[in-house]
Structure 1
Amino acid sequence: MSAGARFVDDGEAVPHTPVATWQEHPSYGARPLLDLTHHGEPCTRLVVLAAHPDDESLGAGGLIATAAAAGLSVYVALLTAGEASQYAAHGATRHALATLRLAEMENALARLAPDNFLAFLGAPDGAVAESEEQVARSLTDLLGDASRTLLAAPWRQDGHPDHDAAGRAAAHAARTSGARLVEYPLLAWTHRSPDELPWDDVLCLELSPALQEQKAAAIRAHVSQVRPPPNNPDGAPPLSGRVLGHFHTPFEHYLEAAPPAPS
């Protein structure tokens, strides 16, 4: 996550729903299971769209590792380099931060799917909506014939402008290419309440202890986001422990919109 994520607590009150509140909801971890099929056929490819480096590990790290273990080809389409992260406030230039975060993402993906294919689409951090149409076209080109493809993207109602724009672009690309689309929440876990999630559209991916550790290792690889800045070791990292708690659970949840009713 990056620009506009509002995760750094600088002394002001930051709305936050604790992970325990979500886990107490009767639907958490109890929705139908997400499978790697499309129209009843096994998928051969997983494509994960990430607005920023670390979105893929936080929201879909378990899915990436699961798909890789099942023999699917794993593609990750990254929209921005995360150059507007809160970390930049501690002295890193946007170019240096972009270079660092791209390297961190490569390291994270190596822990989830060593044979992954990473495509960087180069949208501006914090302004994905301004290039949303181009993102949709580029993603559609990347998907090609997606009849056996599972596409995972940030939830269109996540609440972060880049995540929302990425989700809308993915929805357009899925309709055009024939991909199966599922959407993963990110910001929503902290800034929404369980009753605001449309649980009827939610699918659950259960993570074994080994998969949880793979995902945790990928998250740790995003060092600039999970550790205090080196020139302020007592400072708070952009992703605080209370935020990360939402992503260190035995489950990942995905939203899949119900198909439109026949006319």
Structure 2
Amino acid sequence: MSLPTFRGSRSSAPDPAPGHGWTTETDWQRQALPSALPEDWPILAGGLVVVAAHPEDALLGVGGLISRAVAEGSRVRVVSVTDGDASHPGSRLPGSVLAARRVRESDRAFATIVGNPGGVAPVEVIRLRVPDRAVTTHERDVVDRLIPLVADFALCVSNWREDGLADHESTGRAADVAARETGVALLEFPLRMWQWARPQDSRVPWSRALRVDLTQVQQARKERALSCLASQIAPLVPGRDDRVPLPPEKLAYFRRPFEIVFR
């Protein structure tokens, strides 16, 4: 079984912090939900590979789908294109230290979301270590490295190519090319979109959207996994660097009992 893939043009998304502010989760509750991904979806049995721009992107976008695939006995691989060393521009904390912190946090989060907190997740994680905020510059190299990493899986899921953030879009384009080259089905997950888009927004391919419903157990595990991302959900150095990339109003997008992907 394969799925048609959404293959759009370059994003015309605005800066996700315009003067009128982000679209709130309360606003998004007015959006009609798309059709649900079938519970007995057979393609997962062929293995799931998630290609993500940053260490926690896979968790935020499709952590529930990863949990579901593991529970069904499917092989799961996560390819993290960058280690996220530039999430706090200008910070006194060296990028290498920040990257190591984000990697540790995401490793704990993956173990948590599959029900093995404190242990090793049955998820293979491969890190390409491309410089953060520079994926576009390395896009061709990322494609070449991804092709053998996605080739023997039935399904590839990656960042949406219209998401409004350069690293997300470049990663999505690279995954799209690799999936085309290997004949692997492709789905894409939005992250930044939830900030700049609006319910019924014509820039969003709602007709190609699918809903991944989470069980109560999967949602609870995802909630605990999100709490592992300390560098992203709390001040990096309290009193000195209080920036929070994922404050509560952003985190709310990823605490839902479902996830959204585009075909």
Bucket of the pairwise TM-score, normalised by the shorter protein? 0.7 to 0.9
1:28-52 per-position Cα deviation (integer Å, ceiling 9, x unaligned): 2x42425675xx6553211011101
Q: Distance in 1 between matches of 2:53 and 2:254?
A: 17
SS at match of 2:129: coil
Aligned residues: 241
1:215-244 per-position Cα deviation (integer Å, ceiling 9, x unaligned): 112211111001122332893422111000
SS at match of 1:20: helix
Contact 1:90 1:231 in 2 (8 A): no
Change (3 A) 1:82 1:174: same
Q: Distance in 2 between matches of 1:14 and 1:98?
A: 32
Contact 1:184 1:253 in 2 (8 A): yes
What residue number does 1:54 align with? 56
Change (3 A) 1:34 1:224: farther
1:143 deviates by: 1.8
Equivalent of residue 181 in structure 1, options 186, 204, 219: 186
Correspondence list, 1:1-263, <5 A: 13=19, 15-26=21-32, 28=33, 30-33=34-37, 37=41, 43-86=45-88, 89-113=90-114, 114-146=121-153, 149-194=154-199, 195=201, 196-232=203-239, 235-256=242-263
Residue type at the aligned position of 1:72: S
Contact 1:107 1:218 in 2 (8 A): yes
Residue type at the aligned position of 1:18: T
Contact 2:110 2:225 in 1 (8 A): yes
Contact 1:65 1:211 in 2 (8 A): yes
SS at match of 1:24: coil
Q: Distance in 2 between matches of 1:229 and 1:106?
A: 18
Change (3 A) 1:64 1:238: same
Q: Distance in 1 between matches of 2:46 and 2:172?
A: 22
Residue type at the aligned position of 1:189: W
Q: Please report the TM-score for the alignment, with normalisation by the length of structure 2.
A: 0.85
1:128-161 per-position Cα deviation (integer Å, ceiling 9, x unaligned): 0111111111111112233xx2111000000100
Q: Which runs of 5 or more structure 2 residues have no equivalent in the other structure? A: 1-14, 115-120
State the identity %: 34
Q: Distance in 2 between matches of 1:208 and 1:154?
A: 23
Change (3 A) 1:116 1:41: closer
1:49-87 per-position Cα deviation (integer Å, ceiling 9, x unaligned): 11011111111111111111111111000000100012x
SS at match of 2:130: coil
Q: Distance in 2 between matches of 1:81 and 1:48?
A: 15
Q: Distance in 2 between matches of 1:182 and 1:162?
A: 17
SS at match of 2:239: coil
